[in-house]
Structures are given as structure tokens and as C-alpha cells.
Structure 1
Amino acid sequence: MATRNLESGIDPLDGWSLPAWTYDDPDFFAAECERVFATSWQVVCHLSDIPNKGDWHSLEYIGESVIVVRGDDDRIRAFTNVCRHRGSRLVDGSSGCAKKLVCPYHAWTYDLDGRLSGVPQKSDYPGLDTSRHGLVPVDIEIWHGFVFVRLRSEGPSVAEMMAPYEEQVAPYRFEELVALGRVTLRPRDVNWKNVADNYSDGLHIPVAHPGLTRLFGRSYGVEAETNVDRMWGNLITKPSANWSERLYQSLLPDVPHLPEASQKRWLYFKLWPNVAFDIYPDQIDFMQFLPVSPTETLIREISYVLPDARREMKASRYLNWRINRQVNAEDTVLISRVQQGMGSRSFSIGPLGESEVCLRNFCSKMRDIIPEARQEHRPPAGWNQK
């Protein structure tokens, strides 16, 4: 195992990728679920998705189901989606509306603030203190209208993570967004880190995404803060040879509330470890790379927009979808090739260039959180149970 030189402050693994075994190892996956995802913020929905009292949205990840609900007092709260009686799931599906949350197993009933308010045959439970058996709360943060949750209270808030970019985000009026369509779920047979690595990788843009290269030229850039990656590209004026891209270039209208520098800029943020915002002049998309197993990931995504009835804006949003559908297809091939290649006994770790700042930062954080990632070769099975 390579160890960090504390006296010099130099880590011999700086500039190297994580070892391939960490992308399919069950023990490493279990460590990630507990040490990375239980403490990380996950976006559930936008406030506009739960506008009325009783509206709720749910999110499932790492074996937990979390529900966020607007209470009778208009306050947004988050709870685990679990009845305190026998552990049954309370609600099914991704969204709904309810005056109370009633367990479908034995009809234990909870108010929208999580209090246990109804127990059938209550006399069967002598001494039951209902005040101690309400729904289990989960950390919640509302950042610019987006509702985030986390399972364990460790680390910075979303606002603290995004503080370096507050001025860049503010003009987009996130708080006023409304959903465009529904959440899309895209399963992928790859480790979640391969999706995250690809998202923050700027070097593959001119190689594997000809459409983005036609749109951005050489303007694509990347940078890394401690908990946030930022990527960006500025649309060029030279008409693309592709009709969708060419129409998008010509039809994208000015957005009055955006500064001049943002009128033709595509801006991307990835919040540690797996939540991404794609910010365009015409719409805002979020994506999550939710881990399912060591070699399965569920990509969860939806678009949000500001109300704008202009035909040019409607057309631009459609064209944006066409362009990014092609980009997603290209990325799916790329991450699948990497996952397959990592299964080769000939590959362990690879060098990271000095410009690959986001990947360098990501690998460094993972090694700090899970020191076993410093081992080039897979340790014996069961190491995470020791």
C-alpha cells in the first residue's frame, strides 16, 4: 500500500487513478455506501414539484427510501419511508399527495409533520408512547429551490459547497423553475464512479463528442473546487454542419435576466459525489448517478425551465434535448468500454494528466475516505468487515 508522506505533504498517488478493482468490488461498494453516500447530499425534487400541502416525492438509494413532504404548516420535511411498527414501506412510487401517511400493512397513521397520530387497537400496546414513535427524520436542505436530503449529518451544507459559485448561479433564478416533463431513469451496467469520472472529464470532449466540439470549438474548460467540479463551454457562431446544432445556434433567443457572458454558455456543476447540474440559457437539467451494485448505476434526470412561451425558446429546448440525447448515447458507449476494460487483469491504475484536475481531486478524496483505495491490487474478500 502506498502511504502519504506526512512530512513532505506529497502523496505518491497524486496523479494516478483509482485502481480498477474499486470499480467492481463488493466490499468497496459497501464501504462507499456507508462512508460516501450516507453522508452526501442527494437531490430529491424542486419546491415547485410539491406546491400543495400533502404533496410528497421520494428517492431510493443505497437501500433506503426517503420521502419529502409539504406539511399542513407549509414546511418541507424529510423522513425515512418506513413505518415504526413493523418496518413496512409507507408509500409507493416516486410522488403523490396525502392528507396523512397511512401504513398499508396495519394502518398506523402519521401526520404530515411525522407525528404518530393513529394506532388501531391501541389498547394492545399498553404504555406505548406515541410521541417517541414518529417517523424518523432525515437531514434536509433547500438550496435555490432544490430539495436535498442526506442520511447522516457529516460534512458541509450544499450552500457551503456551492458558495464559490453563488454569483454565477444566482442569475438563473433557480427558485422559479418548474419541471419540463418527468424524471427519467436510465440504468447502466457500470460502476457509478465511471459515470462520475466521465461527467467531469474534459479531455474526451474533442475526441468522442463531435457535436459538442462543433458547438464549443476549443472553449471547453474544467476546474475543481474541494466539493464541486465546474465545466463550461461557449457556443461559437460558426454554423454547425449538423442541422439540430445549427438550428439551436440560430434560434436560441436572448434571455433578459442573464448577463451577456451567459447568453451562449453551457455550464456544468458536479457536486460531490454524484449530483450534477447542467445549466443552459434555455433550461436547467439535474442528473444523479445512483449506485445500485458494484457494476450497476441508475442515472436519474429531469429538466427544469422558467416559463417562456416564445416559439424560439420552445424550439431551442427541443433541439437541446436532441443534441444531448446524442451526447448521452456517446457517453453510454464510452463508460461501457471503460467498465469492460477494467475487468482485464492487465490494467490496474492509470496516469492522470495535470489538466485532469477534477479526476485528480475525485481520486484524492476517495483515497482519503476509503484508504483501501490506495492498494493497487484487490485485497482479500471480506476486508470491509474487519
Structure 2
Amino acid sequence: MDESNQMTSATSVYESLPAWAYSDTTYFRAEMEAVIRPSWQLLCHQNDLPNTGDYVTLDILNERIVAVRGKDGSIRTFHNVCRHRGSRLLEGSQGACGARIRCPYHAWTWDLEGTLVNVPYEKDFEAFDRREHGLATLPSEVFLGFIWVRLDGRSDAPGVADQFAPYLEEILPYRIDEMQPLGRVTLRPRPVNWKQIADNYVDALHIPVAHPGLSGLVGNTYGMEVKGDIHKMWGNVMETRKDSWSTRAYKRLLPEVSHLAADKQRHWVYYRLWPNVAFDIYPDQVDFMQFIPVSATETLIREVAYVLPDTRREMKAARYLNWRINREVNAEDTAIISRVQDGMASSSFTSGPLAKTEVCLLDSVRRIREALPQTMSRQKPS
């Protein structure tokens, strides 16, 4: 018998999660409860809501969430669900609702603070108290100008600011809290498990092979580390022999940014708040990404860029080139993760070795195994 077929079902520390954890429906539900629901999720930036009544919605794990700017200027987060019959209240990814939130089903109406202010046929509801039917809230936090929420309703978990504390000093100079959205949120469906996308973004070993444009941008300056709940990768924009037209032009046109130190003028850094929220930070902009699990084999990538106002032609050109380079990288990544998702369905693959230098991937595996010990087995539990 082949020696590989005699392997025990137990995995090692330097081994990936088992293939079945990327496609099994029953396990997916358990993972959502143990990993995604307890984590902070990014809803929007405060500057996505400039005016009273502006709102942004987020649908994740059958939760409908909305952030609304009130008359007092404050942003509040609610479940985007009517307290009468459960209808979705506000439609679309973002919009403006005026001074009231009105259900399109029976016209129950709330003010922007979540207080129920109108109920048609109210006298027909026995012993009815409006105070018991305000919009349902959930824990939220503002950090770097972003509005964050927790799906599990816990208020005693570490805050987002606490989780980012190891890197706060190096992040603050970018003035992210002042940034404006560059366009609208984009949702990109991918026919893969959410971990394929999250894993790929912190897999540095594939970059020289699969991303010639990105490799040409930062050469061999890649670094990575893990501190607490943050996975960090970085590189410096430099001259290389692999330059494409886009990367050459980006390097040539990117202007100096006055609020950044000299060593950050040509620096790229990626922060992932484990498990599924990430930021790509460049001198010219910040790209936000969120990997929203839909099913065991479906994920939405939710993304948008944020920038500081800058009318210089060189900056506008650099931002366009940044977008162009990222589109090339995203197309390459889409092909990669699809190959991996398909390959994991093969009977020949159970799990694979991880290099000891892949500290972000190793940390992800450790966290999931601690939350879901069944992933220690290469074989799917019966």
C-alpha cells in the first residue's frame, strides 16, 4: 500500500486546513457561528453619510444592517428590519430616506433615532406600546472614521481600536478618518469558499509566480507579520526589471504626499483584521475589502477605495493607475482561487504543507482549529 494512504487523520501545526472545510455545508454553518458572527464587521465610512437621512446597508449571514445619519449628526446602526412583520426597510446598498424610515409593507414609521413614530390602525393592536417597538440596535464602534458592528450582539468583546492598537501609530498619519469614498461600494461574487480569498491575500509565496505586475511594483521587498488580531504585509514601490507599463507610469507619476514621512512615500501596506476585513494602504489611497461568506462555496468581495481630496493631475493619474494595476491583480487572483477551490474537490487532496515563513496563514489555521477542533482531522466528520 502507498505510504501516503497510511497517514493518520491528525494534522500537524504546519499544515493547511482540510479540504472538506472549504466546501462542507454543515461545517460552514458552524464556522459562521464560531468565527464570523463574533467578529467586527465594517459597515461604512462616516463620510459615506454626509447628510441627514443618508444610509448604507450591509447584508451578511441573513442579517440586514443599516447605518443612518440622524438629525443631530450622529450615525446610528440598526437592524434593517421592520418590527411589525420583518420586512426589509431600506433598499439598495446606500441612499437617502429623508427624515423618516418608513416600512414599504404597512407604513410603520420610525425617526432617524430609531423611535417608532407612526403605526397605521394602531388602535387595533391590543395593549400596544410604541416604546417596545423601536428599531433594534446592535453594538457599534467608530474607528478610523469607519462604522463597525458586531453581529452576535456582545458588548464585552475587545473593540476594533484595541485590536488595531499594535499598529495605530503607523496608521494614523494616513488621515483615514478624513477620507472620502472614491466611487460606490462594489460587490464581486466569487464561486469559492471565503477562506480561499482571505488565505490568498496573505499568501506571499505566490506573488512572484502569479502576479508579474504586482511583483514588478514591489520587487522582493515583501514582509509579513502577525500581531494580535492583525495580519500585516508590506512592500516598497521600487524599480525592478519586471515593470509593466502601468507600474512604470505609477512610479513615475505618483506625487509626494505632504502628510506622510519620507519612508512612506513609496510604501504599500496591507492590514487584515482577522477573519474577513482588510485594508490596502497606499500613499495615494486606501482600498477597503470585506470577504462576505454566502455559502460554503460562494463569497462576495465587498470593496471601495477612499482618498483625501487632491486636485493634482499627477495624483488623479496615479489613482487611475492604481486601479488598473489592482484590476489586473484581481483577475489573476480570481483564476487562482477558482483553481484551488476546484482542486480541493479531488479525492487525491486532503491538506497541504505550509512553510514556517507563512506566518499569516499559520495564524489563520491555528485560530480556526481552536474555534472548531473538528478541523484537526483530514477526514470529514461523519
TM-score when normalising by structure 2: 0.95
Displacement of 1:33 in angstroms is 1.8
Q: Secondary structure of 2:86's match?
A: coil
> Which residue, 250, 253, 258 being the options, matches 2:252?
250
After TM superposition, list the pairs within 5 Å mapping 1:1-386 onto structure 2. 13-98=12-97, 99-152=99-152, 153=154, 155-238=157-240, 241-380=243-382
CA offsets, 1:167-226, max 9 Å, x none?
Answer: 110110011100111111110000000000001111111111111211211101111122
Given that residues 180 and 302 in structure 1 are in contact (C-alpha distance below 8 angstroms), is that contact kept between their aligned partners in structure 2?
yes
RMSD across aligned positions (CA): 1.4
CA offsets, 1:115-160, max 9 Å, x none?
Answer: 1111111110121111111111011111110111111126321111
Following the alignment from structure 2 to structure 1, what is the Cα–Cα distance between the partners of residues 246 and 117? 55
Q: Secondary structure of 1:170's match?
A: helix
2:3 corresponds in structure 1 to none
CA offsets, 1:290-318, max 9 Å, x none?
Answer: 00110011011101100000111000001
Given that residues 42 and 150 in structure 1 are in contact (C-alpha distance below 8 angstroms), is that contact kept between their aligned partners in structure 2?
yes
Given that residues 226 and 361 in structure 1 are in contact (C-alpha distance below 8 angstroms), is that contact kept between their aligned partners in structure 2?
no
Given that residues 213 and 243 in structure 2 are in contact (C-alpha distance below 8 angstroms), is that contact kept between their aligned partners in structure 1?
no
> AA paired with 1:122?
E
Q: Secondary structure of 2:39's match?
A: coil
Following the alignment from structure 1 to structure 2, what is the Cα–Cα distance between the partners of residues 225 and 339? 29
Following the alignment from structure 2 to structure 1, what is the Cα–Cα distance between the partners of residues 224 and 105? 50
> AA paired with 2:108?
W
2:5 corresponds in structure 1 to none
Q: Secondary structure of 1:291's match?
A: strand
Following the alignment from structure 2 to structure 1, what is the Cα–Cα distance between the partners of residues 173 and 242? 28
Following the alignment from structure 2 to structure 1, what is the Cα–Cα distance between the partners of residues 141 and 177? 14
Given that residues 239 and 246 in structure 1 are in contact (C-alpha distance below 8 angstroms), is that contact kept between their aligned partners in structure 2?
no
What stretches of structure 1 of length at least 5 have no aligned partner?
A: 4-11, 381-386
Q: Secondary structure of 1:93's match?
A: coil
355-364 vs 143-152, greater mean Cα deviation: 143-152
186-195 vs 138-147, greater mean Cα deviation: 138-147
Q: Secondary structure of 1:85's match?
A: coil
Tell me the percent identity.
55
CA offsets, 1:24-43, max 9 Å, x none?
Answer: 00011111222222111111
What stretches of structure 2 of length at least 5 have no aligned partner?
A: 1-7
> AA paired with 2:220?
R
Following the alignment from structure 1 to structure 2, what is the Cα–Cα distance between the partners of residues 239 and 100? 58
Following the alignment from structure 2 to structure 1, what is the Cα–Cα distance between the partners of residues 65 and 270? 26
1:6 corresponds in structure 2 to none
Q: Secondary structure of 1:355's match?
A: coil
Q: Secondary structure of 1:304's match?
A: strand
Following the alignment from structure 1 to structure 2, what is the Cα–Cα distance between the partners of residues 37 and 79? 19
Given that residues 141 and 148 in structure 1 are in contact (C-alpha distance below 8 angstroms), is that contact kept between their aligned partners in structure 2?
yes
Q: Secondary structure of 2:59's match?
A: strand
Given that residues 187 and 297 in structure 1 are in contact (C-alpha distance below 8 angstroms), is that contact kept between their aligned partners in structure 2?
yes
CA offsets, 1:63-115, max 9 Å, x none?
Answer: 11100111122221111111111111111111122211111111111111111
Following the alignment from structure 1 to structure 2, what is the Cα–Cα distance between the partners of residues 13 and 72? 56
Q: Secondary structure of 1:137's match?
A: coil
Given that residues 78 and 138 in structure 2 are in contact (C-alpha distance below 8 angstroms), is that contact kept between their aligned partners in structure 1?
yes
Displacement of 1:239 in angstroms is 6.8
Change (3 A) 1:316 1:240: farther
> AA paired with 1:58?
T
Given that residues 9 and 379 in structure 2 are in contact (C-alpha distance below 8 angstroms), is that contact kept between their aligned partners in structure 1?
no
Q: Secondary structure of 1:58's match?
A: strand
Following the alignment from structure 1 to structure 2, what is the Cα–Cα distance between the partners of residues 366 and 155? 18
Displacement of 1:373 in angstroms is 1.3
Following the alignment from structure 2 to structure 1, what is the Cα–Cα distance between the partners of residues 241 and 258? 24
Given that residues 219 and 240 in structure 2 are in contact (C-alpha distance below 8 angstroms), is that contact kept between their aligned partners in structure 1?
no
Following the alignment from structure 1 to structure 2, what is the Cα–Cα distance between the partners of residues 176 and 296? 34
Following the alignment from structure 2 to structure 1, what is the Cα–Cα distance between the partners of residues 38 and 136? 16
CA offsets, 1:210-246, max 9 Å, x none?
Answer: 1121121110111112211000110113475421111
Following the alignment from structure 1 to structure 2, what is the Cα–Cα distance between the partners of residues 2 and 356? 23
Following the alignment from structure 2 to structure 1, what is the Cα–Cα distance between the partners of residues 350 and 157? 31
